[in-house]
Structure 1
Amino acid sequence: MLVIRSALFNLCFMTLTPLFSLLVILFRPFGFSAAWFWARMWSQSIFALLRLLCGIRIEIEGREHFPDHPCVVVAKHQSAAETVAMPLLVPPYTWVLKRELFNIPFFGWALALMGTIGIRRGSPREAIKQVMQDGGKRLESGFWVVIFPEGTRSSVGTTGQYQPGGVILAQKAGVGILPMAHNAGALWPKRGFIKKPGTITFRFLPYIPADEVVAARRNDLMQQLQTDIEAHTRELGG
Structure 2
Amino acid sequence: MSTLLSAIRSLIFVIVLIVTVIPWALGVLLLSVFRRGDPIYWACANWLKIAIWSARWICGVRWRIQGMDNLPTAADRRAGVILLSKHQSTWETFAYPALLSHPLAYVFKRELLYVPFFGWAMARMDMIHIDRGRRAEAWTKVLTQGKRLGAQGNWVIMFPEGTRIPRGQVGEYKTGGTRLAIETGLPVVPIAATAARCWPRKSFLLRPGVVDISIGRPIRPEGREPAEMMAEVKAWIEAEMRRLDPDGYGPPPSGVAGSVEGGTASGPAQPDPLQALSQPPSRP
TM bucket (normalised to shorter chain) is over 0.9
1:4 aligns with 2:12: no
Contact persistence 2:161–2:174 (CA under 8 A) = yes
Contact persistence 2:37–2:126 (CA under 8 A) = no
Which range is displaced more, 78-87 or 13-22? 13-22
- Cα 1:215–1:100 shift into 2, 3 Å: same
Report the Cα offset of residue 20 of structure 1. Answer: 2.4
What secondary structure does 1:193 align onto? coil
2: CA distance, partners of 1:123 / 1:135: 18
2: CA distance, partners of 1:83 / 1:21: 17
What does the per-residue CA deviation read over 1:122-149, in whole Å, with 9 as the maximum and x for residues that have no partner?
A: 2222221211111111112221101111
Aligned to 2:49: 44
- Off by >4 Å, runs of 4+ in structure 1: none
Report the Cα offset of residue 169 of structure 1. Answer: 0.9
What secondary structure does 2:69 align onto? helix
1: CA distance, partners of 2:162 / 2:27: 28
Higher helix proportion? 1
Report the Cα offset of residue 111 of structure 1. Answer: 1.3
5+ unaligned residues in a row in structure 2: which ranges?
249-284
User: What does 1:1-238 align with in structure 2 at a 5 Å threshold?
Assistant: 1-28=5-32, 29-67=34-72, 68=76, 69-90=79-100, 91-209=102-220, 213-237=221-245
Q: Percent identity?
A: 34
Report the Cα offset of residue 77 of structure 1. Answer: 0.8
Contact persistence 2:36–2:125 (CA under 8 A) = no
For the aligned residue pairs, the C-alpha RMSD in angstroms reads: 1.5
2: CA distance, partners of 1:220 / 1:182: 22
Number of residue pairs matched?
235
- Cα 1:17–1:7 shift into 2, 3 Å: same
Report the Cα offset of residue 201 of structure 1. Answer: 1.6
Which range is displaced more, 22-31 or 152-161? 22-31
Contact persistence 2:191–2:216 (CA under 8 A) = yes
What does the per-residue CA deviation read over 1:80-101, in whole Å, with 9 as the maximum and x for residues that have no partner?
A: 0011011123311211000111
2: CA distance, partners of 1:20 / 1:4: 24
Q: Given the two structures, how large is their TM-score scaled by the length of structure 1?
A: 0.93
AA aligned to 1:81 is W
Report the Cα offset of residue 114 of structure 1. Answer: 0.4
Report the Cα offset of residue 66 of structure 1. Answer: 0.7
Structure number with greater Rg is: 2
